[in-house]
Amino acid sequence: MSSNRRRFLRQLGGTAALFTGGTMGAFSMDEEKIHVLQPEKRHMSNDTIRVAGIGMGIMGFGDMRAALKVPGVEIAGVCDLYQGHLDRAKELYGKDLFTTRDFREILQRKDIDAVIIATPDHWHDHISIAAMKAGKHVYCEKPMVQHLDEGHAVIRTQKETGKVMIVGSQGVSSITLAEAKRRIKNGDIGEINLVEAINDRFSSNGAWQYAIPLDASPETVDWEQFLGDAPKRPFDPTRFFRWRNYRDYGTGVAGDLFIHLISAVHHALDSNGPTRIFSSGQLSYWKDGRDVPDVLAAVMDYPKTDQHAAFQMQLRVNFADGSGGSNRTRIVGSEGVIEWGNNKFTLKKQKLPQAEPLGTYDAHINFSEEQKNAYIKWYNEKYSENDRKVFPAEEFKYAAPVGYDQRVDHFANFFQAIRTNGTVVEDPTFGLRAAGPALASNLSYEKKKIVNWDPIAMKLIK
């Protein structure tokens, strides 16, 4: 056992998923062999950073909870378009909390340093840009933008304003991903040739049929503000509370789910992204008015770079998987594989021998006696015992400690960059390089064509 590995304690743990929102499959582990990764850094605080949440739904409350776990961070206000969420924020954070339905009122406040944007996707670019221009640091949920052509304006604004902006695929900050990256860079699984992820679900929540509150009405919801740059239409609570199901506001399974894996792989391999994307799917089961597919698969070609070999990424989602649903994420190399679980992974190593031992399933067994013997003689002379040695498979298991939350580490990275005028792990350029292939998957599905993408310039190639 290497000294690096020895320092990991033995204990089982882990909470967050690489593919967030998914019910990860059972991860059977022999506890005796699990190396538990300990977070190296602890978060320091110099002066207080005051944050406001813009978009306080499922993720907005989750993000705020994680942000406030970082020492020296205070909540300074929230903005949401549904009154029930503002009321809930007061229940949780005190009746004096500043609340508003207009994000511009948050941006005008001098006592707010940073904002967490967890609105539907079609608002991400508008609010991020306005916030940075108003002098606020930005934590913006993934995908950074809803449309491919919106990304460069966000990158430009961040550079011009010098504000810190991080995108919220929190898995990038996970200590298990850091360990996987170290092992990949170490060559432990050889040259990567395939990344595959399957996220099959079997529940209405998994298929984005989230609860609609009974008091939803034009009085409790600011519908006009919600629409933003989306096409005008009359008040529709289903569209407001289940916005993911509509292309006007969301980005389908690609922008919602594929993007987590794309972000993690880009980080682990120091990759800029694929050059060719093809996607295909259909709406099979959830015919509830949605206009996005519930079965989608994408294939992406990543070219060889100085950082990694050429590999293929295969991503698939099925929201009506009658088998009960399952999750699988594998990074496959020529000498092993990393299989992801719920903030833990198993690394299996296996190397092909120089020469495969002469087996019973090979053409030589049907050669004439003379030819067969000649062939075996030739083989024995050509290959030494060592060349024929079969290496035993090895397996390592890694897990974060019980209760570990990669989201807290992601926020710590954000706040640390604000305090030190430093950099973040997932800046807008990273954000667009991850959003690009995800959004190109949607384009490929719509146009039924291969989409060519320039991952350096972050542009479609026509």
Ligand X SMILES: NC(=O)c1ccc[n+]([C@@H]2O[C@H](COP(=O)([O-])OP(=O)(O)OC[C@H]3O[C@@H](n4cnc5c(N)ncnc54)[C@H](O)[C@@H]3O)[C@@H](O)[C@H]2O)c1
Q: Residue 119 or 272: which CB sits closer to ligand X? A: 119
Q: Given candidates 23, 99, 119, 158, which one binds ligand X under the rule CB under 6 A?
A: 119
Whether residue 455 has a cis bond before it, omega within 30° of 0: no
DSSP secondary structure code for residue 221 in this structure: B
Question: Which amino acid is it at 385?
Answer: E
Minimum CB–partner distance for residue 56 and ligand X (Å): 5
Nearest to 253, CA basis, from 191, 303, 319: 319
326 membership: H or E segment, kind and range: strand 326-333
Residues between 151 and 180 with contacts to ligand X, criterion CB under 6 A: 168, 170
The answer to the question of residue 128 lying near ligand X (CB under 6 A) is: no
DSSP string, 78-127: EE-SBHHHHHHHHHHH-TT--EES-HHHHHH-TT--EEEE-S-GGGHHHH
Strands 336-340 and 344-349: antiparallel
Strands 394-399 and 34-36: parallel
Interface region with ligand X, contact rule CB under 6 A, candidates 80-88, 300-308, 311-319, 322-330: 80-88
The answer to the question of residue 125 lying near ligand X (CB under 6 A) is: no
Q: Given candidates 85, 137, 316, 349, which one binds ligand X under the rule CB under 6 A?
A: 85
Q: Residue 292 or 337: which CB sits closer to ligand X? A: 292
The angle subtended at Cα 136 by Cα 130 and Cα 137, nearest 5°, is 110
Compute, in degrees rounded to 10, the torsion defined by CA atoms 146, 149, 150, 153: 160
Q: Given candidates 27, 226, 340, 396, which one binds ligand X under the rule CB under 6 A?
A: 226
Count CB atoms within 10 A of the CB of residue 101: 16
8 A C-beta contact, residue 315 and residue 258:
yes
The answer to the question of residue 299 lying near ligand X (CB under 6 A) is: no
d(CA 113, CA 94) in angstroms, rounded, equals 20
Q: Given candidates 52, 54, 216, 440, which one binds ligand X under the rule CB under 6 A?
A: 54
Interface region with ligand X, contact rule CB under 6 A, candidates 81-89, 188-196, 412-420, 446-454: 81-89
The angle subtended at Cα 114 by Cα 109 and Cα 119, nearest 5°, is 95
Q: Residue 13 or 60: which CB sits closer to ligand X? A: 60
d(CA 254, CA 260) in angstroms, rounded, equals 9
Q: Residue 146 or 444: which CB sits closer to ligand X? A: 146
Minimum CB–partner distance for residue 286 and ligand X (Å): 17
Site track 6-45 with ligand X (rule: CB under 6 A), x = hit: --------------xx------------------------
Q: Residue 54 or 347: which CB sits closer to ligand X? A: 54
Minimum CB–partner distance for residue 144 and ligand X (Å): 10
Q: Residue 25 or 62: which CB sits closer to ligand X? A: 62
The answer to the question of residue 256 lying near ligand X (CB under 6 A) is: yes
Residues in the interface with ligand X (CB under 6 A) total 28
Q: Residue 34 or 140: which CB sits closer to ligand X? A: 140
Q: Residue 77 or 168: which CB sits closer to ligand X? A: 168
Give the binding site for ligand X (CB under 6 A).
20-21, 54-60, 79-82, 85, 103, 118-121, 123, 141-142, 168, 170, 225-226, 243, 256
